[in-house]
Structure 1
Amino acid sequence: MADKPKLGIWHTTTLQAARDRQQSYPTTIIAGQKRPYDASLSHSSDRSEPSRGQARPQPRLPQRAPSGFLVSGGAPRLTASRVEYAEGAPVGALPSEYSQRQAFAATPTSTIDPLLSLSHPAYGLPSQLVANFAALGIRSIYPWQKQCLLGPGLLTGEKNLVYSAPTGGGKSLVADILMLKRVLESRDAKAILVLPYVALVQEKVRWLRNVVSNILRGDLGQKEQDDRRKLWARRADKDTIRVVGFFGGSKIKATWADFDIAVCTIEKANSLVNAAIEDCSISSLRAVILDECHMIDDGYRGYLLELMATKVLCLGQPVQIIGMSATLTNIELLKNWLQGHSYETHYRPVPIDEHLVYEGKIYAAGTTASLLKTVNQLDSRSQFSEPRVQPLRIIRPSDHKELKDAVRNAVVALANEAARAGYGVLVFSSSRAGCESDAILISRVMPMFAEVDPATQEKRLDLLGDLRSLSTGLDPKLEQTIPFGVAFHRKAGLTTEERELITSAYDRGVLKVCVATCSLAAGINLPARRVILHDARMGRDFVGPAMLRQMRGRAGRKGKDEVGETYLCCRQNDLEDVVDLMHADLPQISSCLISDQRRIRRALLEVIAIRLATSRESLDDYVSKTMLALSAEPDSIRQSIETGIDELRKMEFITRGDDGSFHATRLGKAVVASSLDPEDGLFVHNELKKALQAFVMDGEMHVLYNFTPVHDMGGGTVNWRVFWNEMQQLDDSGLRVMHFLGLKPVTVNKMLHGGTLSESTSEEKEVARRYHRFYLALQLRDLCNEMPIHRVAQKYDVPRGSVQTLAQTCQGFAAGMIKFCETMGWGAMAAALDHFSDRLRAGARSDLLALAKITFVKSRTARIFWDNGFKTIAAVANADPKELLPLLMQAQPNKVRLGAKDEEKYREKLLAKAKIIADSANRLWQIEMQQELDDE
């Protein structure tokens, strides 16, 4: 048989790359890298790898880990299908649209171009900031970043900026530099950075705190900085840069005075700007960063980005607005709206090789033209006379019944190949159930636990132990997969703590394969050498072009991989739709302010309530500065404004004075203060007004009902069987609340037996909303009474991640309800709600609220402390950590018998935790004593 042609370097497989690693070119430290390279994760040279066409050895029987974890989960082992080179495979392929590196031998360095060094005087950055970037792995920037930063008026803050760069291209660094320059210009300067998801906010806060470490505010001069550093201890609160995260459920209240850089979700950023305009503290704002700004046309929440940015444009003060995205097409629209400079690049430091996997064959999908040609010739209905396009490689069919499906077999084989070669793999599945099943199947073909090096074994067992020690306990499916280096990541199915442990372990190389839903693509920065799409769906529907770009863009780890790989696995029936999707251009963004009349109503109410615009002329001027003014007909805009004003007056949110100016009523101000849509605000007002007449105070259900968000929580439908059972167990107080709300047992019984709630009229929709809110309030009741999240999830038949999201969202909503009552002048109601807000945050009864303030002391731990005599913060503060150790062991769920060595290690970890708890209690106790002295 003739020798197979050698593939081009940019279509080198992970297996071949692992063999040729000694010849690979070195990678340099790069800009925008947020995770330092860990030398301990270097791939060992003695890794066993099968040759081409050679079957892998049959794995040994399941074995038990030393600590007592059943590492096989009891499932029989499988053998992954071989991935072989195809006969007549083409030599190389056209470059990917992302692969700019293919056209250049190397990226220029700062020795060739001095402007690629952040220490260059052109950027005017303090030496401490440059040193901090270097410590985080950023010693030079890319040419495109240099060109972008040196755009007209950007470094001086005179011009706004909109720019687009691929995922992984280092776009965040440009915004970070410009934002920090604005904050460092004066001691009272502030900036707001807006991100779409809570996980991104939390990650960005950690990153920025490292970036600004030891940097003093309001000073770019080195000499003055050195002199002021001597006063560090006395003036740290004034001189350091404070980075604070604001998101739903966070313990931080949105106060303008307590931060220099606010990292916010979209909703929190809009609320923060409203409050600052109203109390006239907005004058210190110097920069606003809009990350993922393509979301501005998101119908559910993106319009709030447009509202917030438009308010900033109307301020008449120098505020630099910076918008960035990886998926912008009509960037000129945003440029014209923000009246700034624009920049576009397609550069990626790590090129991506893209593939289509169809019927067990892997085809290069480097460009649109070659992709369409490939698919046309693959189509059995095609009558082309030219030869069929040859695949690059072939995935052999499997003999296992679990892997008979060609797509599933391809996913498992490709994940197994890359992971065994030592690379990280991300697999995107279309559903939550698909995540779990893919993870379990992949784990069954991975190397046995005993075949893994001892250091990795230890880290995986530590991960299992950390997951087991959480209040939710260890998920049984994760217990099956983690010993083999595989885990799944689902927002609804896992809690925040579980997801953080999994992503950290994957990032450190402890886990090799992470199976996730599409939400991970945009929700967290977690790249991989190989990205595999089980299909191109989210649920039953195909993902959009932007989401597909986000998923593929996760391929390639700078500093660890020379290339990224994507494999989209496609079924025969989906082939045409998948081709259309991969061929589709990214959609152009547009304003969605008047696509739903409710949005323009909120826009008008907000600016009237904060007195940014009160006359008809000023309202027209405000709307003229929105993106809507550049993308809609003037007549339709004018009509929408007229209709919106009339409806706000009918809803009694605004009035018109004799001079023609508009004023927000107390109700209108309450709606804006609580960050509600006008329609939701009207519903809340009616509910609370009725509660004032007959508030049920001899129980907790009425308070918890008013804490339950009025918008859809995405927690699934009501389980009427559970609703009925819980209703049967309600005490007299709970039944009175149901009666007061108009919730009828006969209706619940009807729904239990297959009935439906009619929602054809607005009144019927409100009734249906009350039933749904009450069902969620039942879950909140259990959480506030110390039932663990996973028990609540089991009881109400919902994912535990959804239960945690409900609890976190309710904390933010509760704060809004308290503001609503305070603005309406309902002080007694606000006080009652405020007390339960603390219980909701602690997830505990009233007697544990003080203990729950201690670090690591959740409701379960607090109850065990209380029951064992540690009933106050002072008692915990004065305890020896060794006294707390047995209590912490008692608080751990799902006990497991451990060997002597592992038992000792487990106790050491808990003892370290006990010391942190004691230190935290000491700090809180000192604050209490100081307050007592002040009161005297």
Structure 2
Amino acid sequence: MQIADLPIAPALAACYAEKGIRALYPPQADCVEKGLFEGNNLLIAIPTASGKTLVAEMAMHHHIGRGGKCLYIVPLRALANEKYDDFSGKGVRVGIATGDFDRRDDYLGRNDIIVATSEKVDSLLRNKTNWLSEVSLLVLDEVHLIDSPDRGATLEMVITKLRHKNPAMQIIALSATIGNPESLAGWLDAELIESEWRPVDLREGVYYHGCIHFPDNDRPVERRTKHEDLDLCLDTISENGQCLVFVSSRKNAEAFAKRAAAGLKLESPVLTGYAESIRSKADTDTEKTLAACVAHGAAFHHAGLKKEERRIVEQGFREGAIKVISSTPTLAAGLNLPARRVIIRDYLRFNSGEGMVPIPVREYRQMAGRAGRPHLDPYGESVLIAKGEEMIDELFDCYIEAPAEDVRSQCANEAVICSHILSLIATGFAREHDELTAFMEKTFYAASSESPAILKRAVHRVLEFLRESEMILEVGEWIEPTEYGSLVSRLYLNPWSAERIATTLPRVDGYSDIGLLQLLCTTPDMPTLYVRKNDAYYLDKFIAEHGEELWTEIPWHADEGFERSLKTALLLNDWANELGEEMICERYGVGPGDVYAMVESVNWLIHASRQLAGMFAPELAKSIEEMELRMKHGIRPELLPIVRLRGIGRVRARRLFNNGFTSLDAIRSAGPEKLGRILGQGIAAQIFEQLEGKRDAIGEEPADQQSTLFHFG
């Protein structure tokens, strides 16, 4: 089937032709035949790199050509950025939304395609964003994540709400790994397109003792080093291929990258350029190690790195300069980064409370699906490494020949759906018990479960909690939100988090930075750090010296949850007191990316706490507002007046303060020339444009841009 014969805009067809794409792959042609351009719902369950995104893009342009609007939901922010780049520059307006959960973001409605995370869409629904009713096509990327314990319920409820809001909306759901696609397709009223076809042949095998065992043949691998995983990489790289190596931890990823760099010993101006880009902004040993590895053709990739560092690694790999990346499984979760050979070295992973457990088949398939670069590789290889000969057959049985796990709904977990039940009531989706029941009966859980009573009991217990916490009022069958409940829903807070904050704030005796931060770190909305053995002494020392500053009760016995919350709060407190990034990473055993993630999470909770304080503890609101700005920039209180200037972050603000510029008046009095000697003439000119009112008002965000969390200048 030729693309020129399809009902898409000539400009889009020309974009594809420039890339050499003139005909559809067989699974893509199946999608057209099943009603892609006729408005039929489709569940497309085909392997990675088989062209799912192109199918969705053609459908989106078809809708746009008829005056429609398209919403593309992704599970990860990194994937949102990738899709935004993919869809841009093709004659339509593309927007992206991933943060700021209490904003309506009406400006996004000016776009033809909006790429967003499921959490952001849920927030837009709660804030009654008007343009959502105009969505004519909903694309669900990685739809199998509907069974994710962390975010699956949010995706499921978003789908259910949007279908309720826009009954005529077309849905295209994409996935490579679903064990029960018929069940999910039935819920979506979708045509099912299944296929094992791939543009590059995938060979799956198990390596043991110098040989890869494939189902139909064996392939010997030359022993070049003492390390089997490195031998497998060198074998492929010698044939001009690239490798992805999946391991169980960040520490293992970094250790392998160092061995690979020492084994490869590659040198080139391109690699030197990438390495220098990383090294020039490196503040920690982890970043310096990454730069050293990249200089010799190897890299590691995990959530502990800064976004910019991950971007450089991905770009270097796509361009073929970096030959091998070692990674935790996060890299396999949707990012388009194929390689000739994928090596799954570690198929056991540590789970708290369980120890080392096998990874799911679905996770294996996500990793294996990265093998084979279209138009570059004659084939792709996925290789598991057996620890013993008896493991060869077991790995074939448990992974290579095993079906993916079924997708299961998470909507019967009351801890997960509490927030969603409140939002249904607060936004008017359901205002009576019968309406609430009817809505929940539209969920995937209700459609696929043999025990509907479990969901009913979970909803009943959630309503009981919301009523007792005074977030809702019930008068007979009628349910309505209180002012408190409406605020919690708009803030996108877990009601249990909100209740913990709202009941604690009025009881505290005076404001305390660490008291606020540790309280927020005890809520379900805040991820916390693991506590190492050598952390105990420092935590106990802090409690002995500053325990009276905490707002939560200090347990008399070892309590993992309390210790994790306190360790995380101390990290955040150090950030807000301008401790250097390298020192924070060393002190707490984290990477720069972890620091940013923690700050981003808590800053949202501080913002929400300020709103709750206005309702329940007004005397704390100003102090919490100051902490919100301090946490955003990572500054001490004395720098607050200065960071309200655009382009001034923690580094430039401290430099100004230390040179006597302690206020905006002091900066005005000095004049641009004197300021330029400290910050540079360009920055000084920008600052005085703000002070003279020629640029955006100080401290305000432009209406058509998303706020940025970190300002390092």
Give the corresponding residue for 1:566: 382
SS at match of 1:356: strand
Corresponding residue SS for 2:429: coil
Partner AA of 2:219 in structure 1: L
The Cα of 1:717 is off from its aligned counterpart by 1.8
Other-structure match for 1:426 = 244
TM-score norm. by structure 1 comes to 0.66
Partner of residue 435, structure 1: 253
Check conservation: 2:45, 2:176, Cα contact below 8 A.
yes
Relative contact order higher in (CA < 8 Å, ≥ 6 apart): 1
Alpha-carbon shift at residue 849 of structure 1 (Å): 5.6
Q: For residues 395-544 of structure 1, what are the structure 2 equivalents within 5 Å?
A: 395-396=222-223, 403=226, 409-447=227-265, 452=267, 456=268, 458-470=269-281, 472-473=283-284, 475=286, 476-492=288-304, 494-539=305-350, 540-544=356-360
Which amino acid letter does the alignment assign opposite residue 483 of structure 1? A
Letter in 1 for 2:571: Q
- How many matched pairs? 682
Does the residue aligned with 1:244 lie in a helix, a strand or coil? Answer: strand
Q: Tell me, yes or no, if the aligned pair for 1:283 and 1:317 is still in contact at 8 Å.
A: no
CA root-mean-square deviation: 3.5
What pairs with 1:668-707 in structure 2 (closer than 5 Å)?
Answer: 668-691=485-508, 694-696=509-511, 700-705=513-518
User: What residue is the counterpart of 1:902 in the other structure?
Assistant: none
Find the counterpart in structure 2 of residue 772 from structure 1: 564
* Percent of matched pairs sharing the same residue: 25
CA displacement at 1:851 relative to structure 2: 6.4
Q: Taking structure 1 as reference, are residues 874 and 466 closer, same or farther at Cα in structure 2, changes over 3 Å only? A: farther
Which residue does the alignment assign to 1:550?
366
Does structure 1 residue 617 correspond to structure 2 residue 429?
A: no
Alpha-carbon distance in structure 1 between the residues aligned to 2:123 and 2:149: 19
Q: What code does the residue aligned with 1:520 have?
A: L
Once the two structures are TM-superposed, the CA of residue 324 in structure 1 deviates from its matched residue by 1.0
Q: Counterparts in 2 of 1:186-585, with a 5 A limit?
A: 186=67, 190-212=69-91, 215=92, 241-247=93-99, 253=103, 255-259=105-109, 260=111, 261-276=113-128, 282-365=132-215, 391-396=218-223, 403=226, 409-447=227-265, 452=267, 456=268, 458-470=269-281, 472-473=283-284, 475=286, 476-492=288-304, 494-539=305-350, 540-572=356-388, 574-582=391-399, 583-585=401-403
Does structure 2 conserve the Cα–Cα contact (< 8 Å) formed by 1:246 and 1:254? Answer: no
- Written as runs of structure 1 = structure 2, the 5 A alignment for 1:787-936 is 787-821=579-613, 824=615, 829-846=620-637, 848=639, 858-864=649-655, 866-867=657-658, 929=695, 931=697
Report the CA distance shift for 1:851/1:461 in structure 2 as closer, same or farther (over 3 A). farther
Aligned to 2:708: none
Aligned residue identity for 1:503: E
Aligned-pair CA distance for 1:801: 3.1
Superposition TM-score, scaled by structure 2 size: 0.85
Superposed CA deviations along residues 581-605 of structure 1, whole A, max 9, x for unmatched, are: 22221111122212x2334444432
Give unmatched runs, 5+ long, in structure 1. Answer: 1-112, 216-240, 371-389, 404-408, 748-754, 758-767, 889-913
Are the equivalent residues in 2 in contact too, given 1:471–1:860 (CA < 8 A)?
A: no
CA drift of 1:332 comes to 2.0
Deviation at 1:420, TM superposition (A): 3.6
Distance 1:790 1:300 in 2: 30
Q: Distance in 2 between matches of 1:857 and 1:514?
A: 35
CA contact (8 A) 1:163 1:331 kept: no
**Superposed displacement of residue 570, structure 1:** 1.0
Q: Counterpart in 2 of 1:222?
A: none
Shift in CA distance, 324/597, structure 1 to aligned 2, threshold 3 Å: same
Aligned-partner SS, 1:566: strand
Distance in 2 (alpha carbons) for counterparts of 1:305 and 1:919 = 46
- The answer on whether the counterparts of 1:536 and 1:578 sit within 8 Å (CA) in structure 2 is no
Q: Name the CA shift for 1:695/1:180 in 2 (closer, same or farther; >3 Å).
A: farther
- How far apart are the structure 2 equivalents of 1:606 and 1:723? 38
The one-letter code sitting in structure 1 at the alignment partner of 2:125 is V
Which amino acid counterpart does residue 519 of structure 1 have in structure 2?
Answer: T
Alpha carbons of structure 1 residues 843 and 564: separation in structure 2 relative to 1, 3 Å: same
1:649 aligned partner: 467
Tell me, in whole angstroms, the C-alpha distance in 1 between the residues paired with 2:339 and 2:685: 39
List alignment gaps of at least 5 residues for structure 2. 351-355, 701-713
2: distance between equivalents of 1:265 and 1:709?
25
Change (3 A) 1:636 1:705: closer
Q: Do the aligned partners of 2:430 and 2:436 also contact (CA within 8 Å) in 1?
A: yes
Would the aligned equivalents of 1:116 and 1:143 in 2 still touch at CA under 8 Å? no
Residue 323 of structure 1: how far off its partner (Å): 1.4
Q: Secondary structure at the match of 1:710?
A: coil
Distance in 1 of aligned mates of 2:584 and 2:498 = 29
Query: 1:737 is matched with which residue?
Result: 549
In structure 2, C-alpha distance between the alignment counterparts of 1:270 and 1:203, rounded to whole Å: 21
Change over 3 Å in CA distance of 1:437–1:628 after alignment to 2: same
Q: 1 CA distance for matches of 2:51 and 2:327?
A: 24
Check 1:579–1:130 CA distance in 2 against 1; reply closer, same or farther (3 A cut).
closer
AA matched with 1:807: V
Which position in structure 2 is the counterpart of 1:116?
Answer: 3
Q: 1:325 to 1:653 in 2, by over 3 A?
A: same
Task: Give a deviation string over 1:629-674, Cα, whole Å, max 9, x none.
Answer: 222234444444444434443443322225x211123333233223
Structure 2 distance, partners of 1:607, 1:821, is 24
Name the structure 1 match of 2:704.
none
2-structure distance, mates of 1:503, 1:819 = 39
Larger Rg: 1
- 1:613 Cα offset (Å): 0.9
- Give the direction of change, closer, same or farther, for the CA distance of 1:772–1:445 in structure 2 (3 Å limit): closer
Question: What's the secondary structure of 2:203's corresponding residue?
Answer: strand
Deviation at 1:172, TM superposition (A): 1.3
Provide the secondary structure at the position in 2 that maps to 1:444.
helix
TM-aligned CA deviation for residue 266 of structure 1: 2.7
Tell me the distance in 2 between the aligned counterparts of 1:304 and 1:876: 52
Give yes or no for contact 1:256–1:272 (8 Å, CA) kept in 2: no
Please tell me whether residue 168 in structure 1 is matched to residue 54 in structure 2.
no
Mark the CA change 1:343 to 1:820 in structure 2 (over 3 Å): closer, same or farther.
farther
Q: Who is 2:25 aligned against?
A: 142
Using the alignment, how far apart are the partners of 1:416 and 1:286 within structure 2?
A: 49
- Deviation, 1:331, is 1.9
- Taking the aligned partners of 1:313 and 1:859, their CA distance within structure 2 comes to 45
Question: What amino acid does structure 1 have at the position aligned with 2:201?
Answer: P
